[in-house]
Amino acid sequence: MNELITHLPQPLATLLQSWDTNVLLITVASFFAWITWRIVYSRLEILVSKTSFHWDDLTLLSLKTPVSTLIWCWPATISLGFILQDYMGTKLNWLSTLKLILVIGIFVWITMRLINNIEEYVLNQKNRDETTVQAVAKVSRLFFIVIGALTVMQAFGLSLSGLLTFGGVGGLIVGLAAKDLLSNFFGGMMIYFDRPFKVGDWIRSPDRQIEGTVERIGWRMTIIRTFDKRPIYVPNSVFSNIVVENPSRMLNRRINENIGIRYKDGAKVEVIVSDIKSMLENHPDIDAQQTLIVNFNGFAPSSLTLLVYTFTKTVNWIRYHEVKQDVLLQIYGIIQQHGADIAFPTQTIQLDPQHAGESDEQPKLIS
């Protein structure tokens, strides 16, 4: 190589001999390295797009920007060292530490991008549990951030054994000072592991005025959107001390109605009850495997009460009301079909004709 350089013109030979200490040549080399990476990336992008395996696409996408940053920043760090050394006249030992931190930062950056890409891809698969995916992604991000921070500390010359020893004493002090923060953190972990609810569930608490749809489960708090679209920010530690009801996990919804018919239709009660029960047993949206009760239930002041107790197959709130409406209309049709009718509050006034003119005698009201 040196013999080849000697045959070149003197200015060019001098420039090439000092290429590794020349800022301009380092910058030009960085530019060509970046162009080479862009070409290689475009070719790899075409190759991975032809495969049915999606993880290679996610990995390549996570490398794109960090590698480009490394190609520019690493030579820039070297150039900065040359400039400062020429200006100060001494060798800068901290530049090697800066390069190591740069490599660690790029590695953590790539890992964070990869985790984010995997999380987004998995969440787009509709058969995945959003809460579990987010929990695993958060734990993974926290793990690599801690590893990166510890590596940076070691690069600065800090003793990890001494740091861990200090952490045993300092951890107690920090734990006492931030007990609420820690209780919220472990409350969030309890939600992730016990899974009383997940993102998208409708929950309510009979102990507190909390009811709505879970939007996000964070490390410190859970965001619940009420049905009038107001957000509620609940610290995770609250869920350790309250009862949480999760209607989203219902298997069925209940129809429980007391229907009153007129007293004068008493002779038709038995056949009406039989027809209503038959209708419910054959209704496509009623779960006949669950408890199904249709019976004459008692004597009300103005009606004979029929109990209708059954369960729908759907748990969707809107669909449930559609099914309930259809059931009630069919019950009304059955009652009308037999010449009976729904009762309404009435009063009957009974007068004794023999004492109609006497002032001491009051009319008797029969409800």
Closest C-alpha among 294, 308, 307, 299 to residue 266: 299
Let me know the angle formed at the C-alpha of 145 by 144 and 151, rounded to the nearest 5 degrees: 85
- Tokens representing residue 114 in the block: 């990869």
- Tokens representing residue 342 in the block: 């729904």
Instruction: Provide the residue count of the chain.
Output: 367
Concatenated DSSP letters of 10-55? HHHHHHHHTGGG-HHHHHHHHHHHHHHHHHHHHHHHHHHHTSS-SH
Tokens 């990336």 identify what position?
A: 41
Q: Identify the bridge partners of residue 234 per DSSP, sorted by sequence position.
A: 222
Residues in contact with 161: Cβ distance below 8 Å, sequence separation at least 6, in sequence order: none
Query: What residue spans of the chain are helical by DSSP H?
Result: 2-6, 10-17, 23-49, 55-88, 94-124, 130-155, 160-177, 179-194, 269-281, 317-337
Other Cβ atoms less than 10 A from the Cβ of 263: the count is 13
Concatenated DSSP letters of 284-307? TTB-TTS--EEEEEEE-SSSEEEE
**pLDDT of amino acid 4:** 42
Characterise 89 by phi-psi region: left (phi > 0), alpha (psi -120 to 50), beta (else).
left
**pLDDT of amino acid 8:** 45
Query: What's the farthest any 2 CA atoms get from each other in the chain?
Result: 146
**pLDDT of amino acid 257:** 93
- Tokens representing residue 138 in the block: 């958060």
Distance, CA of 189 to CA of 209 (rounded, Å): 23
CB neighbour class for 272 (10 Å; exposed up to 12, middle 13-18, buried from 19): buried
Strand-strand pairing, 202-205 and 210-217: antiparallel
Distance, CA of 222 to CA of 230 (rounded, Å): 14
**pLDDT of amino acid 86:** 58
Let me know the angle formed at the C-alpha of 243 by 219 and 324, rounded to the nearest 5 degrees: 110
**pLDDT of amino acid 324:** 95
Q: Give whole-number Cα distances, 28 to 32, 35, 68, 76, 361, in Å.
A: 6, 11, 15, 11, 119
Distance, CA of 102 to CA of 110 (rounded, Å): 12
Q: What is the pLDDT along the chain (367 residues), one digit of tens a residue?
A: 445 444 445 554 454 444 445 667 777 777 888 888 888 888 888 887 777 777 778 888 888 888 888 888 877 777 766 666 656 655 556 667 777 888 888 898 889 998 888 888 887 876 666 777 777 788 788 888 888 888 887 777 776 666 566 555 555 555 555 566 667 777 777 887 778 888 888 899 888 888 999 998 887 889 999 989 999 999 888 888 888 999 888 889 999 999 999 999 999 999 999 999 999 999 999 998 999 999 999 998 889 999 999 999 998 889 999 999 999 999 999 999 999 999 887 776 766 666 655 555 555 555 5
Q: Give whole-number Cα distances, 229 to 212, 225, 232, 316, in Å.
A: 9, 6, 10, 19
